[in-house]
Amino acid sequence: MVSNKKIVFFDLDGTLMSRDKTILESSKQALKALQVKGVYTVICTGRAPLMFKWLLEELSFDSYISMNGQHVVFEGKEIYSNPIKREVLQQLTEVAERNGHGLTYATFESFVTNVAAHPLVIGCTTRLKIPYPPVDSNIFLHSDVNQVQIYSNVEETEEYMDIFKGYSFVRWDESSVDMLPDGASKAVGIQKILDYLNIPIENSYAFGDGLNDMQMIQSVGTGIVMENGIAELKEVADVITASCDDDGILKGLLEIGLLEEKDISPLQKNN
């Protein structure tokens, strides 16, 4: 039976999280109001779960799509995982070591790197406000790795693109690119949840801001892009809301009609 419930997917960096990597009070109230109304709320991010575990607890989330759709959990239950082949990871690690490039490996339970104190890894983790990851360049020998980040510039990444056919490379930072199997995307993770719940596309919504949100925004019934989002994403948006620093989540939910002012007022009185 088709469900008439509604579901909203939220990117993290630059969307649900402001530029200083915090959650606005207005966003917290908006999420709580959605949950009170029975609307499903799902994090949809390129990050590994370990990188946003604190956020799940703070915002009462138990459903998420992580590692650009490579791993999906709904209400605490894993419903999809798509690890990268170990022989590919072995070859990738050898190429990166030869080139002096940093790697980070993302699994369901960990986030590690291939080298200590790599300057580009330091730069990216600092911008994300997370600790430098532990070193374990053999993690793929004992754990499933769903996504890898290669720390190199655009020109240097071309070598990896030539070697690893059948994999896509999505740049999320000037110094780093995600490597994942062709066809993998946040949109794949979204479809897994929609199928699991039997929710029609028209009852799905997503908020995003970056290049790795493109397929997500295009795959849902209503795609909402932050004012601070990239121009290419705004071109395919159904709605453009305020920036992540200017109550964009709350304003967007009010604009598309999932929330009304009366839904927020009781929460404000209780604070």
Strand partners, 207: 10, 224
C-beta separation of 9 from 204 below 8 A: yes
CATH of segment(s) 86-181 = 3.30.1240.10
- pLDDT confidence of residue 170: 85
Pairing outcome for strands 222-226 and 176-181: unpaired
- pLDDT confidence of residue 268: 58
**Residue 247 phi, psi dihedral angles, 5° rounding:** 60, 35
Q: What angle do CA 166, 172, 173 make, to 5 degrees?
A: 125
11 is catalytic: yes
Secondary structure of 1-61 as H, E, C letters: CCCCCCEEEECCECCCECCCCCCCHHHHHHHHHHHHCCCEEEEECCCCHHHCHHHHHHHCC
List pLDDT tens digits, range 89-140: 999 999 999 999 999 999 988 999 999 999 999 999 998 888 999 999 999 9
Distances (CA, A) of 21 to 12, 15, 127, 181, 255: 9, 10, 9, 28, 24
List pLDDT tens digits, range 35-84: 999 999 999 999 989 889 888 888 889 999 999 999 999 999 999 999 99
**Catalytic residue selected from 11, 13, 178, 247:** 11
Half-sphere exposure of 210 (CA within 13 A, CB side): 22
pLDDT value at 258 more than 50: yes
C-beta separation of 61 from 83 below 8 A: no
d(CA 160, CA 92): 8
- CATH 3.40.50.1000: which residues of the chain? 7-81+184-269
- CATH 3.30.1240.10: which residues of the chain? 86-181
Q: How many residues does the chain have?
A: 271
pTM of the model: 0.87
7-81+184-269 has which fold? Answer: Rossmann fold (3.40.50)
C-beta separation of 119 from 59 below 8 A: no
